[in-house]
Structure 1
């Protein structure tokens, strides 16, 4: 088991290519730091359709041929 001091001494990122420019290394660090800080609040779950406020509002009945069948179908 490692202690915190041993983890702090090891680098998080090691560049193996000796021809890497400081700009390339900075770009890599920026990408990895952006990926690691993508926390924030989690996305909201979709509401189930039975719990929608619009279902509590009464609608007018359909009229015409097949209206009795359509009156039992959800909109």
Structure 2
């Protein structure tokens, strides 16, 4: 610790311990957050879009195409 620079330096005035603690808390909260790790996409089991009805096929042979997997 002997060669480290101080993080905060009081330039003017004589703050007491409580004021220094409050200033330290504010400065520490302003620190930029670490980047979040990229999350994996949700599984297909959890996908709510699969609960939505797909549009019905139209035209000749539509009844046959309605039973085919999508």
Do both proteins adopt the same fold according to a TM-score greater than 0.5, normalized to the shorter chain? Answer: no
TM-score, normalised to structure 1, is 0.39
Between structure 1 and structure 2, the one with the greater Rg is: 2
Higher relative contact order (CA 8 A, sep 6+): 2
Q: What's the TM-score, normalizing by structure 2? A: 0.40
